[in-house]
Amino acid sequence: MIPNAPNALPALTSDRFLALQSALPGAKGWIRVNGQSILHADLALQRPTGRYVSRLLLPVVNFLLSGVAIRTLGHNALPGLFFPTLHPKKGLKQIPIWPKGYKLVVANVLGNTDIHEAIVVPAEPFMVLSIRPEWATFDDYLAAMSTKYRTRAKRAISLAEGCEQVDLSQEEPETWVPWASGLLKQTLRKKTVTLPASLEVLLTTYKEQLGDAFRIYGYRNEGQWVGFITAIVDHEAVHAMHMGFEPIYAQQAQFYQRSMMDLVALAIEEKRACLNMGRTATEIKSTMGAVPVENSFVFFTPRPLVKWMMQVYAQRFHHLPSYTLRSPFKQLS
């Protein structure tokens, strides 16, 4: 079996996960896979990017797959919160009743194991920071770093000193969702995303279903909202979820590092074992102490043409960004 690696990347508590995934737009019902009943949802590549799918290739792929029902195992708007257990040798037989009209089913799993009759495509790793028991405060976290990386962290904080952090977690969604969804749309505009079409509905659903466990930090500069970040405080871990920002301001103020460090402080304050920082920006997150957890996307299809297309993409066009992992903490004696 492909391990779920709960110690490396804890899944979201089942009651919260079930409530959230069923309420999000795009859910299409349940499917039986390897003895598990799993919700499945719509998937579509919506925007061009130069990172995973070339700007020229994406329209071609979308044209060739037009009319092809593509479904994800688990909701695609819940990255890093659920990983189905697949059998490496059962192949398509682990989906005993193939849904009528479906041509492609995709799952995000931990690890990068070959699976019979499937196309396995490596993904950028999830970056996870383990919170040490001796870290009672954020200052303790900084003190554990070597001088070089502690200086970098403090510089990011100092560059963002003019940026006021506002905890919006207790505010009604209508007070922050309109501008936050606008910033999220700006941030995602050049990326291939598979989120629901309405980002307002996405953020509102998270807050309504998770309540106090869903945290929202807004960032204001000279009275204007310039960024936000959200996170889920679950029983075992804090999960970074959504981030939006004004691009010009964010570059000047190192907003990405600042907001992620605010989530480090949140995980320490809430006494959680780890912070799941999500995918992307692997090297930056490693400078904050996060380590990679390998994962991949698994594609199942009974259609030879569709399978051939996915194999061509995986072999010729799929390229992950390169990065160098950093080790910011002092060596323990």
What pLDDT digit, counting tens, does each position of 268-313 carry? 999 999 999 999 899 999 999 999 999 999 999 999 988 998 898 8
Residues 138 and 168 in one domain: yes
Same domain for 183 and 114: no
Q: Indicate if 219 and 241 belong to the same structural domain.
A: yes
| Surface-to-core class of residue 172, CB atoms within 10 Å of its CB (0-12 exposed, 13-18 middle, 19+ buried) | exposed
Q: What is the pLDDT of residues 20-78, one digit of tens each?
A: 998 988 888 899 999 999 988 876 554 444 444 445 455 555 555 555 578 889 888 89
pLDDT(96) > 60: yes
Does residue 285 belong to any structural domain of this protein?
yes
Residue at 322 is within a domain: no
Residue 230 in domain: yes
Give mean pLDDT, residues 202-207: 96
Give the total number of structural domains in the chain.
Answer: 2
Burial 209-224 (b: 16+ CB within 10 A, else e): bbeebbbbbbbebeee
Q: Is the pLDDT of residue 232 over 70?
A: yes
DSSP 227-260: EEEEEEE-SSEEEEEEEEE-HHHHHHHTHHHHHH
Query: Average per-residue pLDDT in the chain?
Result: 86
Q: Among the listed ranges 5-19, 92-106, 156-170, 205-219, which one has the minimum average pLDDT value?
A: 5-19
pLDDT at 144 over 90: yes
> Do residues 103 and 210 both lie within one domain?
no
Residue 311 falls within a domain, yes or no?
yes
Q: Higher model confidence: residue 62 or residue 10?
A: 10
Q: Determine, yes or no, domain membership for 326.
A: no
Evaluate if residue 243 carries a pLDDT over 90.
yes
What percentage of the chain carries pLDDT values higher than 90? 60
Residue 331 lies in a domain: no
pLDDT classification of 191: cutoffs 50, 70, 90: low
Higher pLDDT, 23 or 193: 23
Q: In terms of residue numbers, what domain contains 78?
A: 14-124+293-317
Reference 228, options 133, 134, 164, 147; nearest CA is: 164
227 shares a domain with 266: yes
6 pLDDT tier (thresholds 50, 70, 90): very low
- Tell me how far the alpha carbon of residue 307 is from its chain's centroid: 26
Tokens of 297: 């996307």
CATH at 177: 3.40.630.30
Beta bridge partners of 126: 293
pLDDT of residue 167: 97
Residues 116 and 176 in one domain: no
- Structural domain contains residue 62: yes
The full length of the chain comes to: 333
Any domain includes 279 = yes
Task: Output the CA torsion 5→10→14→15 (10° steps).
Answer: 180
The answer on 247 and 168 residing in a single domain is yes
Q: Which pLDDT value is given to residue 68?
A: 57
Identify the burial level of 73 via C-beta atoms within 10 angstroms of its C-beta, where 0-12 means exposed, 13-18 middle and 19 or more buried. buried
Quick one: average pLDDT of 201-222? Answer: 95
For residues 155 and 228, membership in a common domain is answered with: yes
Specify the higher pLDDT residue, 257 or 52. Answer: 257
